[in-house]
Amino acid sequence: MHKPDVTGFYDPRTGSIQYVVADPATGKCAIIDPVLDFDEKSGSTATRNADAILDHIAAKGLTVEWILDTHPHADHFSAARYLKAKTGAPTAIGEHVKGVQRIWKEIYNWPDFACDGSQWDGLFADGETFQIGELKAHVMHSPGHTLASISYVIGDAAFIHDTLFMPDSGSARADFPGGSAADLWRSIQAILALPDETRLFTGHDYCPGGREARWESTVAEQKATNPHVAGKSEADFVGLREARDRTLPMPKLILYALQVNVRGGELPVAEDNGRRYLKIPLDALPGSVWG
């Protein structure tokens, strides 16, 4: 099995990890889940995270073949559109993004919004394969955190984003619109059915106990030591996950980020004064815990 070179870029503001996955034989690479910087207090945007990725790609002499999202994120803006403009590489996400778009079209009251995934260059189906240089990649539909979530299995590496975190951190929440703890359990079981030596790369780390950020584990480690799955049944997991989710406030950027991320990272069009505006729906997520 081919072994891609994987470089993670940690964003401490959002606890997110972005990836460059490269084929050592050809120098072709993919970017996964890049972050566009946003400060909600000032409304400022920046491209520091994305530019660090571009600097790495230039230093290594890599060629970008894909810019990939695992799902529309609730805690950061996607830099996919910015990176496409810089590299010319196509963007892609899972085909079930159309269902997420329909949910948020209603929340934002966008009657003319196209819920067809056309904001990306490609939509992947479950089981679909594609190439990164000589590396074979395949797509696993991994719903639960969102109904559109997918995992990318590339050589001996799997990019699993909001399914499992590091073994000391459990699993991702499943209470967003369209989420399901039962679906998440089934998605996790499919990931854990990969070979034990498969490297698993998560999408977030929140540094429990003050440790350094970490983002790589293996299937074997997760099965043996993650308290959300080791020795647990589906009923155990669903009960644990739903109880935990009832205590969690919504991510602070969810209402900002989704209106960008369901559009493939496109920021709102500038108005006649040259400024862009975000739209924040009030009382859109009833029953949410106040944070």
pLDDT tens string 41-59: 999 999 999 999 999 999 9
Torsion of CA 170, 149, 137, 226, to 10 degrees: 10
Q: What is the pLDDT of residue 49?
A: 98
Each domain of the chain, given as residue ranges in start order, spans 5-261
DSSP per-residue codes, 275-286: -------TT-ST
Instruction: Give me the residue label for tokens 């698993």.
Output: 200
Q: What is the pLDDT of residues 118-154, one digit of tens each?
A: 999 999 999 999 999 999 999 999 999 999 999 999 9
pLDDT computed for residue 98 by the predictor? 98
Task: Answer whether residue 1 shows pLDDT above 70.
Answer: no
**Mean pLDDT of the 69-96 span:** 98
Any idea which fold 5-261 has?
A: Metallo-beta-lactamase; Chain A (3.60.15)
Neighbours of 51 (CB within 10 A): 15
The per-residue pLDDT for 291 is: 85
pLDDT band at 264 (very low <50, low <70, confident <90, very high): very high
Task: Please give the pLDDT value at position 6.
Answer: 98
Its pTM stands at 0.97
218 strand-pairing partners: 199
pLDDT per residue over 166-204, tens digit each?
999 999 999 999 999 999 999 999 999 999 999 999 999
**In this structure, are residues 164 and 172 in contact, taking their beta carbons and an 8 Å threshold?**
yes
- Residue 238 pLDDT greater than 90, yes or no: yes
Q: What percent of the chain has pLDDT over 90?
A: 99
pLDDT, the chain, mean:
97
The Cα–Cα gap between 220 and 214 comes to 17
pLDDT in tens, 63-74: 999 999 999 999
Q: Where does the pLDDT of residue 2 fall: very low under 50, low under 70, confident under 90, or very high at 90 and above?
A: confident
Handedness of CA 222, 226, 231, 236 (dihedral sign): negative
Q: Average pLDDT in the 98-115 region?
A: 98
As a dihedral over the C-alpha atoms of residue 100, residue 130, residue 266, residue 86, rounded to 10 degrees, the angle is 170
